[in-house]
Structure 1
Amino acid sequence: MEKTTERLLEVLKKGRLYFYSMKELLTNKPQILEMAFNQSLSAIAILDREFNFILVNEAYARADNRKVSEFPGRNHFDFYPSDAKAIFEQVVQTKEPYQVFARPFVYEYNQKRGVTYWDWTLSPALDNDGEVEFLIFSLSNVTDKINNELQLKRLFEISHDIICISDFEGCVRSVNPAFRNILGYEKKDVLGKNLFDFVHAEDLEPTKATHVNAIPSASPVKNFKNRYRCKDGSYKWLEWSSVPVSQEGLTYSVVRDVTEKIIADEKLSNARQQIANILESITDAFYAVDNDWNITYVNETSAEIMGKTQAELIGENLWDTFPNYNPFTYEKFHKVMKERIPDHFEVFASSVNLWTKVHAYPSKDGLAVFYRDITTRKENEKKLLESEMRFRSLFENSVDGILLTKPDGSVLAANSAICNLLGRTEKELCNLESCSIVDLTDPRIPQALKERKIKGKVKSELNVIHKDGTIIPVEFASQLFPGADGETLTCVMVRDARERIKTQQEMNRLERLNLVGQMAAGISHEIRNPMTSVRGFLQILRGKAECQDYKDYFNLMINELDRANSIIAGFLSLAKNKKNHTLEKQNLNTVLEKLLPLITADAMKLDIFVNTKFGNIPDMLLNEEEIRQLILNLTRNGFEAMSPGQTLTIKTSMERQDVILSVQDQGVGMSSEVLENIGTPFFTTKADGTGLGMAVCHSIAEQHNAKIDIETGSSGTTFFVWFKLGSVG
């Protein structure tokens, strides 16, 4: 135990506690040991052979922000897992102390502390048998010291300036990477070499003298410049700031490459001479005044504008010479002189009847003024402004959409017409890419772009995209023109083509209906007469006794003749000039009410509901038979589009000055192909259809001065029949 006490005493001495004698320690062992242990500035822990904590002092617990009571009985490596366990085991085995310096450690449970660095000593305390009784573990946190050293090292490495350490004889001891970056020498090329060997011959003596004179008094050398030879043989100007340290026998230098600055200073000196020559040769007017507003310099151009010679102006007071100077200019000049901030402005000089562009610059001696005649430019700007206002008026009020775009397709400006067409604001359009405005899948685009590239302009048709995703066909004209900065811009004019396309489609449909009607009117009687004769003879033969075995065949032939007759009747209904097309004043609601039982009966067979909403509408001139056929065609189309349990809605209403009949189903809607071709004679989606039903409806609507519109979607289709008030009785 005595050896253990001696070991602990040795450790405590290292912790800056001093004991006057071993005897005193042994005599008062419990109290003194406890006091020394707890008050030591070093972190100390006593561990058993298995590295379990027996006791730690306050400094040890404080190093980990723990309490002293948390440690006893706990294993060191449960708290601080690391590869140092092998060292601890070595100390137990060898019974020899082990010291570590600046060992890195990361707290697993508190990684925000980052990497910490520790100096520590692990000393074994032996019992009377010479075996390790316990371990004394003392450590010191050197994280700040190591981090400071690392920071200095990083600074040394990353500095853009050269950092050089040399002895008093000029022999290089160390340089940073900037030495290579600036002069081209690798570190190995200069270590041990003398700095003076690289100095330009003309600068060698001043350099040596400055270096030698600084050493005795350890005086810093600041901003000493000399030329230094680079590895490629060229020379650079360097600026040295050095401090000799007598105790170390070393000189520490920070060296900056000032070659560009030296060259720039030389150029500046030459430039100043050139400025005087330039001021006389420039076309701009120039004059300078001192702080008392006396003219110190005026070039020939300015003197000519002022109507005096240079000799007459130099030395004269500006305001006395020109008492009628523009008050605005007067205020501007005084502001520049007072605030020492340059100003640029345009002003009309009434004294010389010119518009001038003025640049006023403060100087330490007064004020320098450049100005030029901009009268012609001002007149042109006025004309340009008037032109821009006319263009802006045309741009904003055009019924056609107009876009101004960059070469990449991004929008610079958009008028209200194009905004309304696309359902977006001008700001939204300017923030969109072209692919969000134009349907790039349109196959006409590549040809249009090619033509515009060759000719500089193009007229064509394409599709644009509404904000809600709707594809809109448009006519467009596009032309390239140069922008103010020389960049090629594009003007695009767009016109909604939906009405034109719709009108063209309607004309084509009417033309087809008219053709079919004329054909039907021309051939229906010629076909019907022989068919009627054939049907009559078939009925006679069917009634004969010897033909009874073929009765089913006769019935089949008669039914097919009746079906052919119904098709011919459909043809006839397409003819414009029907003899029985008479109009009578009556109400559409009345026709619907008479027809409702038949519609309801058809619906009940299919387990479909019928909902009616009859509005207050005026009487109209109608052909009841044709209107009945129109309604039955529309309702039966609706029935065929729906499933059992769904509802068909028949509605009449007034909108503006039109009477509207609407038939709405709850089917799955129509495809774009069906929607485009519906109403075309012989177009049908039904296996046994003739393709005449909707064609007949359009024909009847036309003969009643009405039109049919269709809205369709995934939730169903609605047919709208718009009766113009011209048909109202």
Structure 2
Amino acid sequence: MMTDYAATNPTACEYETFFQLSSEIMVMLDLDLRVIKSNLAFQRLTGFGAEQACSLPDFLHPDDRATSRRRWHEAAQEERFTIDERLLTASGAIAQIRWQAALSPDGSRLYATGSLIPSFDAFTNNQWHRSSLDQALDCFGIYSAVRDDSQRIVDFRIEYVNQSAATLTGVPQHAQIGRQLSEIYPLTSERMLNTYRQVIETGNVVLIEGLPYADERMTGVLDLLHFKFGDGFAISWRNVASQKAAEAKLADSNKKFSCAFHNAPTINFIMDVKSGIILEANHNFQEITQYPADTMIGQPISELGLWEDMSEFRRATAQILEYGPTHNYPITFLRAGTEPRVGLLVGEYITTDGSDHILFIMNDITDLRDAENRLTQMDKYQMLGSMAASIAHEVRNPMTTVKGFIQLFRQQKDLEAYHSRLTLISSELERASSIITEYLSLASNKVTEKARHRLDDLIRYMLPLLEADAIEHNIALNLVLEEVPPLLMNENEIRQLLLNLFRNAVEAMQGGGELSILTYVEQGGPVLEVRDQGTGIDQKVLGSIFTPFFTTKAHGTGLGLAVCRSIAERHGATIRAHARPDGTSFKVMFGTGVWDLRLSPATS
């Protein structure tokens, strides 16, 4: 009848062709599971003839035949349903098949399509599969569901375990295969049994990591991967206890390194070799260089303006890559992009996450160098002070006598022709006396009386003298005097310091310009700054200008700035010169320890 309908209906004919040629197994059943029609895929698999009268249970595994009709009838209460069964093939093998079925609209027939799913027998009988898995390092096993009459899973049959699983559990393969899980592993937790059931019923892949396990055969930490296999599941697992211990040790090591890296008093940073980008930097990097973290991390180091000479840093990097770790490589870096400071660089090549990096550790030795230089200067000042004190009396007495006779000669009319020469001799004697006075000022152990004064008040008191000198040299004097805390100072010495710096600035400004004197508070302490618009100081000699007898002037003594430094140090202050684009700046920075509001006021 169906053939006649298909012959007279083109659409039905097309459906018949599709039905027969489909690779899916297709059958039409009555409610007693008798085969009404089947396609070629079903016939080839089972050896069933198209005209042969039979029922579906005839092709089922003997263990499934008794319950087949009941399971189909129960499932058919739903409009669409799924049933897994084992079919006997024409070759006598067993094929696991999953039926997707539905009732006909009138409820008199069942339409079913089936697809083959992996078979335990097909796997375990495949020698190549077994041999490959037996050589695998990871443990592997296949387990089939053991069901009761109501199709509820009550246990699992061990279909296969590889050699690694047998070795890890201590149970040989032949002692496991074919046995039920509850016999071999009676301590399996209910949690794991539920996981196995979930995998079989839902078909979901389940990964469990870091599962602690212990029984009489083995202890460890397991990573397990479960997936559905036929009417059961397959599982791949490994004991990661050693790996977890190594990871914990590595994490502890990384924590210690991070603590040392970020809390060290040195300047620490990690740079990517290929891009030159700063990957990480410690707090001291930001604190000392004054580069904020958000503008530093992830930026190429060449764009930060960190180094006074970028080529010097590139040479240090090349040396590390070619010859290995470098130690105490001297290099000049810039604080806040302007202030040069001296560092000793240590660098070592490291590899992290497959990338090439360099770990840099830099020690800022600027203050140490300054301290060493100050000690050297103090030794010189001590020597000069001692020399000056011992010879001052012996030299000044004859000089006073000579000066007195010069004054007498200048008053005699018969010596008027020599008046200009006598005046020159007198001025040179004054100059010699001034040099002796400066020698005495270099003595670091010089005892001076100190009282409380304000820097800004002292400068205002000296203003008429300073203005007169500035006007004479066509210089505009600019005062920017913020109120600063009182200082414990020797007024005469601080006035001498200011005059020396002022006159140095005036001498540097031969073409006129603006000379600024400033007072302000920086890092908690008062600061005196003198800025000029002169010719500037060569960077090469900037570090030597405070050395006694060092001078760049044709007729200078080389004592003026040395005296300034000696006075500053006697007052617990530091003095530094900074080259500016439009001249030079001298800053005298008084520490917080040299001023105290509780000190008694200066006496009149």
Q: 1:568 aligns with which of 436, 442, 445?
A: 436
Q: What is residue 131 of structure 1 aligned with on the other side?
A: none
CA shift, 1:383, in A, is 2.8
CA shift, 1:335, in A, is 6.8
Contact 1:474 1:495 in 2 (8 A): yes
Partner amino acid, structure 2, of 1:425: A
CA shift, 1:609, in A, is 3.3
Change (3 A) 1:522 1:345: same
Give the whole-Å Cα distance in 2 for the aligned partners of 1:465 and 1:651: 24
Contact 2:316 2:329 in 1 (8 A): no
CA shift, 1:506, in A, is 2.7
Give 1:493-642 correspondences, 5 Å limit: 493-578=361-446, 581-617=448-484, 620-642=487-509
Give 1:402-441 correspondences, 5 Å limit: 402-405=268-271, 411-422=278-289, 423=291, 425=293, 428-432=296-300
Bigger Rg over Cα: 1
Contact 1:344 1:357 in 2 (8 A): yes
Change (3 A) 1:562 1:446: same
Q: 1:678 aligns with which of 520, 535, 545?
A: 545
Give CA deviations for 1:337-358 in whole Å, capped at 9, x if unaligned: 6456685744323454321233
Give CA deviations for 1:376-424 in whole Å, capped at 9, x if unaligned: 2223332332232222222222222333456656655433323444415
CA shift, 1:694, in A, is 1.6
Q: What is residue 302 of structure 1 aligned with on the other side?
A: 165
Contact 2:571 2:594 in 1 (8 A): no
Give 1:324-339 correspondences, 5 Å limit: 325=188, 338=202
Give CA deviations for 1:223-270 in whole Å, capped at 9, x if unaligned: xxxxxxxxxxxxxxxxxxxxxxxxxxxxxxxxxxxxxxxxxxxxxxxx
Give the whole-Å Cα distance in 2 for the aligned partners of 1:458 and 1:365: 67
Contact 1:709 1:719 in 2 (8 A): yes
CA shift, 1:558, in A, is 2.5
Q: What is residue 458 of structure 1 aligned with on the other side?
A: 327
Q: What is residue 138 of structure 2 aligned with on the other side?
A: 284
Change (3 A) 1:319 1:433: farther
Q: 1:314 aligns with which of 177, 182, 187?
A: 177
CA shift, 1:296, in A, is 2.3
Give CA deviations for 1:129-188 in whole Å, capped at 9, x if unaligned: xxxxxxxxxxxxxxxxxxxxxxxxxxxxxxxxxxxxxxxxxxxxxxxxxxxxxxxxxxxx
Unpaired runs of at least 5, structure 1: 1-271
CA shift, 1:504, in A, is 2.4
Q: What is residue 70 of structure 1 aligned with on the other side?
A: none
Q: 2:211 aligns with which of 347, 361, 365?
A: 347
Give the whole-Å Cα distance in 1 for the aligned partners of 2:485 and 2:298: 50
Give CA deviations for 1:275-314 in whole Å, capped at 9, x if unaligned: 4223334453221235776432122442454565544543
Larger RCO: 1 or 2 (CA < 8 Å, sep 6+): 2
CA shift, 1:480, in A, is 4.9
Percent identity, aligned pairs only?
29
TM-score computed with the length of structure 1 as normaliser: 0.53
Change (3 A) 1:683 1:319: same
Change (3 A) 1:574 1:466: closer
Give the whole-Å Cα distance in 2 for the aligned partners of 1:637 and 1:611: 16
Give the whole-Å Cα distance in 2 for the aligned partners of 1:640 and 1:294: 103
Give CA deviations for 1:585-624 in whole Å, capped at 9, x if unaligned: 5554554343222112112223333344555456554433
Contact 1:670 1:713 in 2 (8 A): no
Give the whole-Å Cα distance in 1 for the aligned partners of 2:300 and 2:313: 22
Give the whole-Å Cα distance in 2 for the aligned partners of 1:628 and 1:321: 99
Q: What is residue 265 of structure 2 aligned with on the other side?
A: 399
Q: What is residue 650 of structure 1 aligned with on the other side?
A: 517
Partner amino acid, structure 2, of 1:700: I
Give the whole-Å Cα distance in 2 for the aligned partners of 1:488 and 1:438: 22
Q: Secondary structure of 1:468's match?
A: coil
Q: 1:476 aligns with which of 316, 340, 345?
A: 345
CA shift, 1:656, in A, is 6.5
Unpaired runs of at least 5, structure 2: 1-125, 147-155
Change (3 A) 1:651 1:359: same
Partner amino acid, structure 2, of 1:280: D
Change (3 A) 1:335 1:457: farther
Change (3 A) 1:425 1:301: same
Q: 1:358 aligns with which of 217, 220, 224?
A: 224
Contact 1:287 1:299 in 2 (8 A): yes
Contact 2:270 2:280 in 1 (8 A): yes
Give the whole-Å Cα distance in 2 for the aligned partners of 1:288 and 1:304: 16
Q: What is residue 76 of structure 2 aligned with on the other side?
A: none
Change (3 A) 1:358 1:661: same
Partner amino acid, structure 1, of 2:132: I
Change (3 A) 1:553 1:646: closer
Give CA deviations for 1:666-722 in whole Å, capped at 9, x if unaligned: 446544234322322223343333222222222222333333244442245443334
Give the whole-Å Cα distance in 2 for the aligned partners of 1:577 and 1:468: 38
Contact 1:359 1:371 in 2 (8 A): yes
Change (3 A) 1:547 1:700: same
Partner amino acid, structure 2, of 1:349: Y
Contact 1:709 1:720 in 2 (8 A): yes
